[in-house]
Amino acid sequence: MFTVGLLAEAACAIGCLIIVITWIRDRSTRSYSWWILGFLLSGLGVVLAAQRQALPYLTALGVPGFFALFGAGALWSGLRVFDKRALPRLTLLPPSIWALGLPFVYQSFALRQMHFNLAIGTATLLIGLDLWRSSSRGLSPRLCIALICLFETVVSYSQAIALFAMRDEVGQGPVRGWLTFAPFQSAVAMVAIVVLGILMIGERSERRLRDLAMNDQLTGILNRRGFFEASAAQLARLSGKSHEVAIALFDIDFFKAINDNYGHPAGDKVIAEFAERAARTIRRGDILGRIGGEEFALLLPDTTINEARLIVDRVRAAFAEAAILHDDVEIMATASAGISVGQVQQGAVLDRLMSTADSALYAAKKAGRNRTSILHMVTQADRGTAAIVRGSP
């Protein structure tokens, strides 16, 4: 049991040290403080449990068990904070089970061990089910931790049944033989959870770096690279199907004059406002990105020429209808748009659609700005319904 306790203490110490180092480098989330607390409490519970002979009074009161169970609750709370979810409501259930049953079992070592296995098994069950529900379909560190927790639940409950059946044989302990499997397995599981937790934090960091590479920092929407990658993936999913797809390009009218008259911070505010209003106006599944200084692109999958015109005009109207307030100055701005529509089944290529939409945008600007221009291989069904250049009312 000394070796098992030492292994569990080492796992808690290593986990705590790693989280402390990570927290020093990145203080953007409160989950690290929860995990540090969880490892400290769990480690302290293991240390006190190992001193059962020297501290019989604390052991009889169940103090080591409380530390271990509250430590598990802190680790679970950290996982919820890591996911930006609310703290778990059932985190106090395992300590409550331990506290309510302790008066009936405190005189018997075997029954205390049985009761603690029921409490800790409930804790791992709750954590495992929560992680299982929040895991992606593929194999991931999160899913592996969930499986370990659920396996721990099976082992703990099985150990509780065995201890109850052999309570006379176990007596005042310690447990021997195959009954030591559960504590040893739990210590090994703690080591595995520490390793998988490191991988989970690494995945989060990798996603953050990818978001920085794919998203525009000023507006929060996709940048040029992100837009092209997301649009190419969408077109690939629609490949071979009979769908129309539209690309719209937007350009904020007279943007240089806005910068010259009000300053570059005001220009940034105008750009950010366009992105925000456009994002609120488009449909779910549409892909919006900032591809240049004051230029934006919008991919409209499974969209006819008339639907595309309506969506683009709604975006332009949302941008133009209300002044943009910057430093107590109201700035009115408009945008021009060019639309290109093609058939996915006929091999609509993103670069070709973008080029055609750019030509349409140039036509809108040449025609006086603050309008939408459409370039499309007009079919018989489109004739009489889609204007080539549509100006504001």
d(CA 40, CA 43): 5
- Of 114-123, 170-179, 219-228, the poorest mean pLDDT is in 170-179
| Same domain? 322 vs 206 | no
Q: What is the mean pLDDT of the chain?
A: 83
Asked if 206 and 240 sit in the same domain, the reply is no
Considering the domain architecture, whether residues 202 and 319 belong to the same structural domain is answered as: no
CA pair distance 84, 166, nearest whole angstrom: 44
Rounded mean pLDDT of 68-85?
A: 90
Answer whether residue 80 shows pLDDT above 50.
yes
Q: Which of 165-169, 173-177, 228-232 has the lowest mean pLDDT?
A: 173-177
pLDDT tier at 5 (50, 70, 90 boundaries)? low
373 domain-assigned: yes
Question: From the DSSP assignment, how many helices (H) and strands (E) are in the chain?
Answer: 14, 8
User: Which residue type occupies 177?
Assistant: G
Out of 189, 213, 237, a domain closes at 213
Task: Tell me which residue has tokens 């180092």.
Answer: 21
Query: Which pLDDT score, from 0 to 100, does residue 24 have?
Result: 79
Domain count, the chain: 2
- Give the strand pairing for 295-300 and 244-252: antiparallel
Model confidence over 23-51: pLDDT tens digits? Answer: 777 777 788 889 889 888 988 887 887 77
Whether the predicted pLDDT of 147 surpasses 70: yes
Dist CA 381 CA 393 (whole Å):
25
Mean pLDDT along residues 211-218: 84
Percentage of the chain lying above the pLDDT 70 cut:
84
> Each residue of 89-146: pLDDT tens digit?
899 999 999 999 988 887 888 888 889 889 999 999 999 999 898 887 677 888 888 8
Q: State the residue range of the domain holding 384.
A: 224-391
184 or 215, which is more confident = 215
| Residue after which a domain boundary falls, among 213, 241, 258 | 213
Instruction: Kindly give, in sequence order, each residue whose CB lies less than 8 Å from that of residue 315, ignoring residues fewer than 6 positions away.
Output: 248, 250, 277, 278, 281, 282, 298, 335, 337
- Is residue 302 a part of any domain in this protein? yes
On whether the CB atoms of residues 106 and 132 are closer than 8 A, the answer is no
The C-alpha atoms of residue 131 and residue 146 are separated, in whole angstroms, by 5
Indicate if the pLDDT at residue 73 is higher than 60: yes
pLDDT for 387 equals 39
One domain, residues 186 and 329: no
Instruction: Assess whether pLDDT exceeds 70 at residue 173.
Output: no
Alpha helices in 135-263 (DSSP H): 141-165, 167-170, 181-214, 224-238, 255-262
Does the pLDDT of residue 61 top 80, yes or no? no
Residue 12, in any domain of the structure: yes
Q: In this structure, are 173 and 276 located in the same domain?
A: no
The pLDDT score that the predictor gives to residue 94 is: 94
What pLDDT is recorded for position 391?
41
pLDDT for the residue numbered 393: 33
Q: Are residues 254 and 352 in the same domain?
A: yes
Question: Is residue 219 in some structural domain?
Answer: no
Assess whether 7 and 76 both reside in one domain. Answer: yes
Give yes or no for residue 362 having a pLDDT over 90.
yes
Q: What is the pLDDT of residue 263?
A: 92
Lowest mean pLDDT among 11-15, 259-263, 347-351: 347-351
Out of 9-13, 166-170, 370-374, the most confident range is: 370-374
More confident residue, 386 or 259: 259
Q: With cut-offs at 50, 70 and 90, classify the pLDDT of residue 201.
A: confident
* Per-range mean pLDDT, top range of 228-242, 244-258, 347-361: 244-258
pLDDT band at 261 (very low <50, low <70, confident <90, very high): very high
78/149 same-domain check: yes
Domain co-membership, 196 together with 254: no
Judge if 15 and 92 occupy the same domain: yes
Q: Angle at CA 167, nearest 5°, toward 164 and 170?
A: 130
Give residue 384's pLDDT.
Answer: 42
Q: Annotate 175-195 with b (16+ C-beta within 10 A) or e (fewer).
A: beeebeebbebbbebbbebbb
pTM greater than the 0.75 cutoff: no
Q: Quick check: 311 and 286 in contact, CB under 8 A?
A: yes
Distance of CA 108 to the CA centre of its chain: 46
Write down the pLDDT at residue 241.
67
Last residue of a domain, one of 213, 248, 276: 213
Mean pLDDT value of segment 213-219:
88
Residues 82 and 51 in one domain: yes
Per the DSSP assignment, residues forming a β-bridge with 247 are 299, 340
